[in-house]
Amino acid sequence: MALANTSPIYSKVGSVQGGITLTTAANDYTGQSINNSIVFQADPTNGSFVQRLRFKAAGATGTATVARIYLNEGTLNLASPLSAVSGTPTGTPSTSGGTLQAGTYFAKIQAVDQWGGGTAMSTETASVSVTGTTGSIAWAWTAVTGAAYYRIFVGPVTGGQVIYFTSTTNSYTQTTATINPTSNTPAQGNPSDFLTQNLFYGEISLPNIASASATAAQADIDYPMNFALPPGWHVVVGLGTTVTGGWIVTGLGGLY
């Protein structure tokens, strides 16, 4: 009689992620701050199993705090360390190639990194006039080193970018005015208006560590999760108060 496979389904390909040191800030507790940190990312195709998060004091933390854990469906409310698009993007109109209505259009460009974090907006383009009802606009801008893709925010008035499109290169031909994706409608081209897709999952109290010691180890503080994270989702953590020394957070799990 053959023995059954007693190993967990994810054990063949382990995944240890994070090692992120969290220090600030108090408003991260709400899950909306740009300083929330990714501690685990699911495989983009098959998803992953998340076993637990481990919190370890990096030194004297300075104060007790609460860590809140969020699940993020891939649209991250993080600021990117990438440089913003430099200079002023350009737009070249055409009377063919699309279904843009006649009118004036303005655009701002945002570079996005591999985690989905966006940079500050570029300078707004000069107005681009489209004539007729079958027009299109070829937008172009300076490439940003390390950018995974770009968001092109477009609107009919200056400062009024209310739809956006995406491109993996530093150019994009806009042929329609359809919102992309339709579930998100940024207001005034502000990234924080739509990068807030965090789902509150749980929280854990973290003690004040008065001092680090070479002779006495700090306690390991584990937060159990034990569930399947859908493809492309993230586990994100934010703190309730600013701490000086920081807490190192590591995600433990596995790939399917």
User: Within 10 Å of residue 29's Cβ, how many Cβ atoms?
Assistant: 18
CA dihedral 127, 133, 135, 141 (to 10 degrees): 30
Same domain, 113 and 181: yes
Report the number of distinct structural domains present in the chain: 2
Residue 83 placed within a domain: no
- Among 162, 189, 216, the domain boundary falls at 189
Query: Could you tell me the residue range of the domain that residue 28 belongs to?
Result: 13-78+196-255
Report pLDDT for 138: 97
* Calpha distance 67→246 (Å, rounded): 12
Burial class (CB within 10 angstroms; exposed 0-12, middle 13-18, buried 19+) of 44: exposed
Report pLDDT for 124: 93
Same domain, 122 and 156: yes
Residue 85 placed within a domain: no
Report pLDDT for 195: 39
Residue 1 placed within a domain: no
Peptide linkage before 25 cis (omega within 30 of 0): yes
Same domain, 102 and 141: yes
Residue listed under structure tokens 């590591």 = 250
User: Within 10 Å of residue 214's Cβ, how many Cβ atoms?
Assistant: 5
Strands lying side by side in the sheet with 90-94 = 90-94, 136-140, 171-174
Q: Extract long-range pairs of 167-173: CB within 8 Å, 24+ residues apart.
A: 169/143, 170/140, 170/141, 170/142, 170/143, 170/144, 171/138, 171/139, 171/140, 171/141, 172/138, 172/139, 173/97, 173/98, 173/136, 173/137, 173/138, 173/139
- Among 136, 164, 189, the domain boundary falls at 189
Residue 24 placed within a domain: yes
Residue 2 placed within a domain: no
- Among 134, 155, 189, the domain boundary falls at 189
Same domain, 102 and 176: yes
Task: Kindly provide the residue ranges of all beta strands, DSSP E only, lying in 31-148, ordered along the sequence.
Answer: 37-41, 48-57, 65-72, 90-94, 103-112, 128-130, 136-140
Same domain, 228 and 209: yes
Same domain, 185 and 119: yes
* Calpha distance 194→186 (Å, rounded): 6
Helix, strand, coil percentages (3-state) for the chain, rounded to 5, are: 5, 45, 55
Same domain, 103 and 229: no
Residue 6 placed within a domain: no
| CATH code of residue 59 | 2.60.120
Average pLDDT, 10 consecutive residues per value, the chain (256 residues): 48 62 61 67 84 88 85 66 90 92 90 76 92 92 93 84 84 77 36 53 89 79 91 84 85 80
Same domain, 139 and 66: no
Residue 123 placed within a domain: yes
Report pLDDT for 202: 92
Same domain, 64 and 98: no
Report pLDDT for 73: 75
- Kindly state the DSSP code that residue 79 receives in the 8-state scheme: B
Residue 103 placed within a domain: yes
Same domain, 65 and 108: no
Same domain, 129 and 107: yes
Same domain, 114 and 185: yes
